[in-house]
Amino acid sequence: MTPITRRDALRLSAAAALTPILVSCASSAPLVVTAAWSGSEADAFQQVLDDFTAHYGHRVEYISAGERIDALVRSRMRANRPPDIAILPSPGLLDRYRAHNWLHPLHTPPSHSPGDAWNALTSRGDQIFGVWVKATHKSLLWYRSERAAILPAQASSWRWDELVAWAADRARTGHPPLAIGAADGWVLTDWFENLLLSVEGGGEVYETLAAGDTTAWDSSPVQQTLLGLAELWSIEGVFPGGGRRALLTQNDEAVIQVFATQTADLIFEGDFVASVASAFHREGAEDGLRFLPFPRGDVASPPLVVGGDVAVLLRDSEPGQQLMSWLARPESFRPWLRRPGFLSPYPVNSDWYESPISRTLAQQLHSGERRLHFDLSDRLRGPLTGGDGAGLWRILQDFFAMVTSGDVAPRQAVDQVMRELARITAEEP
């Protein structure tokens, strides 16, 4: 047996002295949570996390990943250093991460439920892999209150062909009627989804596509939807600076065109428009904002497309499970509910919303008067999965470029997109 030297004894003694410190540091390491939110949204979410810390005593570190949250999660998983919790902008990411066996199910079901339509996207059998924390209403046309006079009396119950006719008339006066952030491919998918739900048979096709049946892309409702979009987008002068400029315009800049520079009359997008628009008004900012439902086509009522952010557990621990349960409590988000731009996926007391717009939109989400359809592009799998320069995002941006250029007839552009959809879906394994 080799004798222990004095130097060895000192080294072992130092290591033993350090052990309690290392254990203490490990046990007090903060939970790491990542989401896309930044700015005022990150500030509001930080209050939710601070309240959790005050209640349970567990420290939480928040990492804002912006639009690159998927890349951040993947890189950390490869390095075997995942965040404890990631809040994902789509259930499609939840499905992919679950398929990789990255997710841990909840040990106990949440005490609140947003409803069957939401739960179906986060559960597999008896296991629950995510909790919804934020909802988005994505079926709205926004305008400044002083522009109300230029809209027809029936605008609140517009049919699609009436919107197209109004936009053409308005464009002929030299003032672009619509702003669109076509540089963000998800904006174009939102247009597609809402109009698909507005044509006859579109609702059934929508849910068939969401369920993964790619044969439904080769259907009359999809073709009619593309023809309707081409009819509107190809109007000369419909967008500030034309289609080429629109393809360089992101959604926030498009909101500015309506609510700040006033180079356009209307913008279609979700409830988050209010947060951006409010920055260009003084106190009582919402007094200057108005919205309309997305126009219906051949169906009885306007569409209701929703999106949402879902929290998933990537590192299983008792504190992580406690935080997931905390995020599933609608009352945990009361600090954020007091601000514009937040809708709870759960039915809550309307008095919790200080924003009249948020209160009205929340009522629409939870009234049951219109069937709720979760964002289609967020549910797609395979080669049509969205992202910059990929999938349905790319296809619709190419389509937008064709129909706004004036070089390709709308029906020819539609036929080209239908062939592209058939080619891509035929190649899917």
**Rounded-to-integer distance, Cα 201 and Cα 184, Å:** 28
pLDDT at 428: 59
Task: Write the burial class of residue 46 (CB in 10 Å: 0-12 exposed, 13-18 middle, 19+ buried).
Answer: middle
Higher pLDDT, 27 or 102: 102
- Is pLDDT at 232 greater than 90 in this prediction? yes
* pLDDT greater at residue 300 or residue 242: 242
93: left (phi over 0), alpha (psi -120 to 50) or beta: alpha
In the three-class reduction of DSSP (H, G, I as helix; E, B as strand; rest coil), residue 149 is classed as helix
Q: Compute CA 82 distance to the chain's CA centroid, rounded to the nearest angstrom.
A: 23
pLDDT of residue 273: 93
Q: For residue 151, which phi and psi values (nearest 5 degrees)?
A: -90, 145
pLDDT in tens, 387-422: 777 899 999 999 999 999 989 999 999 999 999 999
**pLDDT at site 275:** 85
Ordered alpha helix ranges (H), 62-159:
69-78, 91-99, 116-119
Percent of the chain with pLDDT strictly greater than 90 = 78
- The stretch 239-267 carries a mean pLDDT of 96
Angle at 125 between CA 120 and CA 127, to 5 degrees: 90
Residue 182 has pLDDT above 90, yes or no: yes
Indicate whether 5 pLDDT > 50: no
Burial string for 109-130 (b: 16+ CB within 10 Å, else e) reads ebebebeeebbebbbeeeebbb
The answer to whether residue 289 scores a pLDDT higher than 80 is: yes
**Average pLDDT, stretch 6-32?**
49
Confidence of residue 3 (pLDDT cuts 50, 70, 90): very low
Task: Flag whether pLDDT at 337 surpasses 70.
Answer: yes
Please report the pLDDT score of residue 23 as a whole number.
Answer: 34
The pLDDT score that the predictor gives to residue 297 is 87
Residue 288's pLDDT band (cuts 50, 70, 90): confident
Residue 172 CA from chain centroid, whole number: 34
pLDDT score at 285? 60
Task: List helix spans (H) across 57-159.
Answer: 69-78, 91-99, 116-119
CA angle 58, 63, 66 (to 5 degrees): 150
For helices 185-196 and 220-233, angle between their N-to-C axes, nearest 10 degrees: 120
Give the mean pLDDT of 251-255.
96
The mean of the pLDDT values for the chain is 90
Whole-model pTM over 0.85: yes
Distances 51 to 59, 251, 327 between C-alpha atoms, Å: 10, 32, 11
Instruction: Look at the block and give the residue holding tokens 């979009």.
Output: 229
Whole-Å CA distances, 399 to 30, 159, 267, 393: 47, 23, 19, 10
pLDDT in tens, 254-268: 999 999 999 999 999
User: What domains does the chain contain, in order, with CATH numbers?
Assistant: 31-136+306-366 (3.40.190.10), 140-303+381-427 (3.40.190.10)
Q: What is the pLDDT of residue 48?
A: 97
Question: In whole angstroms, how far apart are CA 424 and each of 92, 204, 385, 418?
Answer: 19, 22, 11, 10
Report the DSSP beta bridge partners of residue 9.
none
What's residue 282's pLDDT? Answer: 55
| Higher pLDDT, residue 287 or 255 | 255
Q: Strand pairing partners for 178?
A: 266
